[in-house]
Structures are given as structure tokens and as C-alpha cells.
Amino acid sequence: MTKIHVTTTVNGDETEFLCDPRETLLDVLRDRLNLTGAKEGCGTGDCGACSVTMEGRLVCSCLVLGAEAEGKDIATVEGIADGDTLHPLQRKFIEHAALQCGICTPGILVAAKSLLEKNPDPSETEVRYWLAGNLCRCTGYDKIIRAVMDAATEMREAS
């Protein structure tokens, strides 16, 4: 099948790739751009492990076609840290032991960052409902919720 040429921006870098029209944005990120931080847990938009933002909006990259990235601004887990300085969410996840196996962590970090950009002072319930699209099978979510709330507090105090 003829491939499509796509020009896009990923984590601030201008990027070009060729993709099959059937490839998802997740396929492109992982297999063509070597950004394997986003994970495929289901391929049907139910688990959130592939979460990225497109034009600042949280999406499941398994439900976006690679070709749809044309001219768009994509952000993935690989772009969250600033050089060797971790984002407060990343630090708090380590500090609170908010991950066990870590497969859902990239998606949850992307989703939580997106929440705190919209709502810097979420309630526990708001965090729980915002993250309801990100499955974690290890933790029971307790430490994840605490890490997100703690990062939010730190970020509010710093701003």
C-alpha cells in the first residue's frame, strides 16, 4: 500500500515519517520514531497506556491514525522531563512508590500532567475520574492518587 508522508512536531522537534494509512499514531511513535514510552495495552482505547497529547488534548494514540498527526503538535512521556530535571509528577511517582510494574506509568503521567495543566487544584474525586481511562492492575491506584495530589500541591506552592 502506498505510504503517506507526514510532517509533525513531537516533543518540540519537527519530525517527518512515512506510514501506511492503517498505522496508528501509536504504531508510528513506537515503530517508526523509536519512542517506545507509550505502550499498547489494548489497542481499543480502553487502557490509556498509550496516552499522549495532540495539540494539548489528551488522546489514546492507538485511536489516532499516524496520518492524522500531519501538522499537529504531539507530546509523549519522553518529553515530560526537562533535561536531567524530572517533572514533579515523575519525582512524586518514584517517591510515593506509585508504580509497581511500571507499564501504565507513562500513560498515567501524560494524563495526570494534562489534568494539572487544566486544574492545578483537583480534588481526590476529580483525580480519580480524570484517570479513570488509565488502567493500572498493580497498585489499586491508592499511591498513584496520592502522588498526583502531592505533585499538584508542590506545583501550586512553586508557582
Partner 1 sequence: MALDDRKSDFTFIGTRPDRPDGLDKVTGRAKFGADAVAPGMLFGAIVRSPHAHARIVKIDTSKAEAMKGVKAVVTRADFATGLTGEFWNVQENVMAGDTALYDGHAVAAVAANSALDARDAAKLIEIEYEVLPHVTDVDKAMEADAPVIRDGTADGSVPEGMHPNVVRYHESGHGDVAAGFAAADLVIEDSFKTEATHQGYIEPHACLASLGADGKGELWCTTQGHWYAQKHCAALLGIETSQLRVTASEIGGGFGGKTTVFIEPVALALSRKANRPVKMVMSRSEVLRATGPTSSTSMDVKIGMTKDGTITAAEGVFRLQGGAFPGAPMEFTAMCAFAPYALENVRQVGYDVIANRPKQAAYRAPGSPMAAFAVESVIDLLCQQLDLDPVEVRLKNASKKGTKASYGPRFDDIGLVECLEAARDHPHYSAQLEQGQGRGISCGFWFNHGGETSVSLALSEDGTVQVSVGTPDIGGSRASMALMASETLGIPYENIRVTIADTATLGYNDVSHGSRVTYASGLATIKAAQAAIAEMCKRAAAKWGIPEDAVKWEDGCAVPSGPNAGDFEPLAMADITADMGATGGPISGHFEATPEGAGVSFGVHIVDAQVDPETGKTSIPRYTVIQDAGKAIHPAYVEGQFQGGAAQGIGWALNEEYVYGEDGRLQNAVFLDYRIPVASDLPMIDTVIVEVPNPGHPYGVRGVGETGIVPPLAAIANAVSRAAGVRMFELPMSPPRILAALKADG
Name the strands in the sheet holding 13-19, side by side, starting at the edge strand that comes first in the sequence: 13-19, 4-10, 73-75, 51-54, 57-60
Nearer to partner 1, 83 or 159 (CB): 83
Binding residues (CB under 8 A) for partner 1: these are: 20, 22-23, 27, 30-31, 35-44, 46-47, 49, 76-78, 80-81, 86, 90, 93-97, 99-106, 109, 124-125, 127-129, 131-145
Least distance between partner 1 and beta carbon 2 (Å): 13
Residue 92 is which amino acid? K
- Of the candidates 19, 102, 90, 12, the residue with the CA atom closest to the CA atom of residue 53: 12
Least distance between partner 1 and beta carbon 61 (Å): 13
Least distance between partner 1 and beta carbon 74 (Å): 14
Nearer to partner 1, 69 or 89 (CB): 89
Q: Report the phi/psi class of residue 59: left, alpha or beta, with left for phi > 0 and alpha for psi in -120 to 50.
A: beta
